[in-house]
Amino acid sequence: MTDSQLLRGAVLTFDADPGEAPTPDADSLRYWEDGAVWVEGGRIRAVDDFSALAPHVPEEVEIVDYRGKLIMPGFIDSHVHYSQLDIIASFGRELLDWLNDYTFPAECRFAERAHAIDVAERFLDEMLRGGTTTAQVFCTSHPDSVDSIFSAAQQRRLRLLAGKVLMDRHAPEALTDSATGGVRDSERLIADWHGKDRLAYSLTPRFALTSSREQLDAVGGVLRNDQSLYLQSHLSENRGELAWVAELFPECRDYLAVYERYGLVGPRSTYAHGIHLSEDERARLADAGANIAFSPTSNLFLGSGLFDRLATRDAGVVTSLASDVGAGTGLCGLTTLQGAYQVGALQGQPLTAWQGFYRLTLGNAKALHLDHRIGRIQAGHEADVVVLDFAATPLLARRTQMAETLGERLFALMMLGDDRCVYATWADGRLVHQRDADACREAPQECTSMHS
């Protein structure tokens, strides 16, 4: 058994932004109807038509038969809270009440290491079941919560960004750190995890409301000393939040100015939401190269508002797509795309499947400065792929059989699909999720076929 496989099926990968039109821009993507992805030692060795590639592949390389299915780069989630897995779908609150009533109590449980380890494992299982192979993850304020998810991701050889939540005010005492203590803990975690295997550290001040000026200033200091670190936070999500930020930081002319003042807005910063931004804030985000994580299912669930994707893009701001579970209602990228379409439709800016799948893959990889490693199926890239099943449900099978074009089939998949459509997920060249795993153990020949 070599560490090499040839995955055979339809293959779709983006090379550039396909634009917003129903027909994708020329040269923005590559598609092989009967394609093959040659995976070796965790990397993609080659991609081409099956008939062109197969003769170059040694006999002993296993052929995994995904004919009839679609192979794409693994999905990327630019903003998600693993600690909120167990409060997903908690009823009837807007942001600030939702945090107090559900989120903070759930995060308190992470004081117990065994709980953190258990949820980290379940979260990664769910993420892979949804076809997501890389995420930027909020942990809790407990350093152990960070060790737990990094260690679980390392064992599974996943590419992951994560960080300890920093918050030294306006949260239960059991969850608050101190301005200096929280940053000291972050520095220990950076030393232990940043740049190890496929892991990277993202400094994580929760949002302006839960950090003192001293804490924000200390975070800015760490960031200035190491340009390779990421930063993740929240910005301009909810009207009540905005009013309170204005009260707490009267010296700042708007919400973004709070983060700017402490040096927290740069090309490696991801701010979730950005729903209620002014033109001026958008222009400043664009200048800084910071990334806004559009989290549609979360915005719809909490009633936070409708993100203006096109205005944000037209202002030159980098945008990414995120689940933001547990305010978001699903970890599967397809669920996120449904929300993004609906938020867009309500504003006369419906999302095409081309744009949606681009964002989930190469678009998010670019937003996180990881597009030289992930987000595309091309030689040399890390072998993180998802295998999607157009026949996962009877209705989807019927709808996609009737579709006349690939664009139409992809759109039906995006609107009707969920984790049932994720037939298999590969990370670092290894099969890490197989939908019909039990059936495959009993009848492996139906799941893969070998060279004869």
Using CB under 6 A, list all residues that contact ligand GUN: 81, 95, 99, 103, 206-207, 234, 237, 298, 324, 327
Rounded Cα distance between 105 and 162, Å, is: 21
Q: Which does 207 bind (CB under 5 to 8 A by kind): ligand GUN, Fe ion, none?
A: ligand GUN
- Least separation in angstroms between residue 99's CB and ligand GUN is 6
Q: Which does 63 bind (CB under 5 to 8 A by kind): Fe ion, ligand GUN, none?
A: none
- Least separation in angstroms between residue 220's CB and ligand GUN is 19
Complex with ligand GUN: residue 99 or 370, whichever CB lies closer: 99
Residue whose C-alpha is closest to residue 317's, from 375, 273, 351: 273
Whole-angstrom CA distances from 118 to 79, 189, 388 are: 21, 20, 28
DSSP secondary structure of 274-339: -TT--HHHHHHHHHHT-EEEE-HHHHHHTT-----HHHHHHTT-EEEE---TTTSS-SSHHHHHHH
Q: Which does 117 bind (CB under 5 to 8 A by kind): Fe ion, ligand GUN, none?
A: none
Complex with ligand GUN: residue 69 or 276, whichever CB lies closer: 276
Q: Which does 158 bind (CB under 5 to 8 A by kind): ligand GUN, Fe ion, none?
A: none
Main-chain dihedrals φ then ψ at residue 261, nearest 5 degrees: -55, -30
**How many CB atoms are closer than 10 A to CB 178?**
16
Complex with ligand GUN: residue 83 or 400, whichever CB lies closer: 83
Rounded Cα distance between 80 and 250, Å, is: 30
Query: Binding residues for Fe ion, per CB under 5 A?
Result: 272, 324
Q: Which does 322 bind (CB under 5 to 8 A by kind): Fe ion, ligand GUN, none?
A: none
Q: Which does 216 bind (CB under 5 to 8 A by kind): Fe ion, ligand GUN, none?
A: none
Q: How do strand 62-73 and strand 75-81 relate by DSSP bridges?
A: unpaired
Complex with Fe ion: residue 71 or 285, whichever CB lies closer: 285
37 Cβ neighbours under 8 A, 6+ residues apart: 6, 7, 11, 44, 46, 47, 71, 377, 383, 385
- Least separation in angstroms between residue 234's CB and ligand GUN is 4
CB-CB contact of 302 with 349 (8 Å): no
Complex with ligand GUN: residue 144 or 237, whichever CB lies closer: 237
Q: Which does 95 bind (CB under 5 to 8 A by kind): Fe ion, ligand GUN, none?
A: ligand GUN
- Least separation in angstroms between residue 272's CB and Fe ion is 5
- Least separation in angstroms between residue 363's CB and ligand GUN is 21
Complex with ligand GUN: residue 32 or 271, whichever CB lies closer: 271
- Least separation in angstroms between residue 428's CB and ligand GUN is 29
Residue whose C-alpha is closest to residue 380's, from 6, 38, 5: 38
- Least separation in angstroms between residue 23's CB and ligand GUN is 35
What's the chain's Rg over C-alpha atoms?
22
